[in-house]
Amino acid sequence: MPEKIIGILGGMGPEATVDLFHKIIKFTPAKKDQDHFRIIIDNNPKIPDRTAAILGKGEDPLPALQETARNLEKAGVDFIIIPCNTAHYFLPQIQKSVNIPVLNMIEETA
């Protein structure tokens, strides 16, 4: 069975993306580089502010979130992780835009 490719829909903020990537690397029991997971990161800091949109005071980030998720799917990832907690507000609509799982990190870590 081929190893799964992880997609990270990141950039909101970039530090959260780096932190998630670091944790995946740190907690992978790898003895050599080739033992690590293949990860494709789309670090898109241009996605509009999620909190402002939720409060009705900013641009809707959903089109950019969906486009970024579709780009990761086209890149061949098997599932998507979003390190931004606030972006999970839009998770149902993001999930509908792709044919691969988008993990709910809030539920996964609760």
State the pLDDT at residue 107: 85
State the pLDDT at residue 60: 98
Strand partners, 5: 38
What pTM does this model have? 0.93
pLDDT at 6 over 80: yes
DSSP string for residues in 21-37: HHHHHHHS--SSGGGSP
**pLDDT band at residue 70 using 50, 70 and 90 as cut-offs:** very high
Rounded to an integer, what distance in angstroms lies between the CA atom of residue 72 and that of residue 77? 6
Domains, the chain, with CATH or none: 5-109 (3.40.50.1860)
> How many alpha carbons lie under 13 Å from residue 110 in its C-beta half-sphere?
6
**Interval 72-81 mean pLDDT:** 99
Residues 16-33 have pLDDT tens digits of: 999 999 999 999 999 999
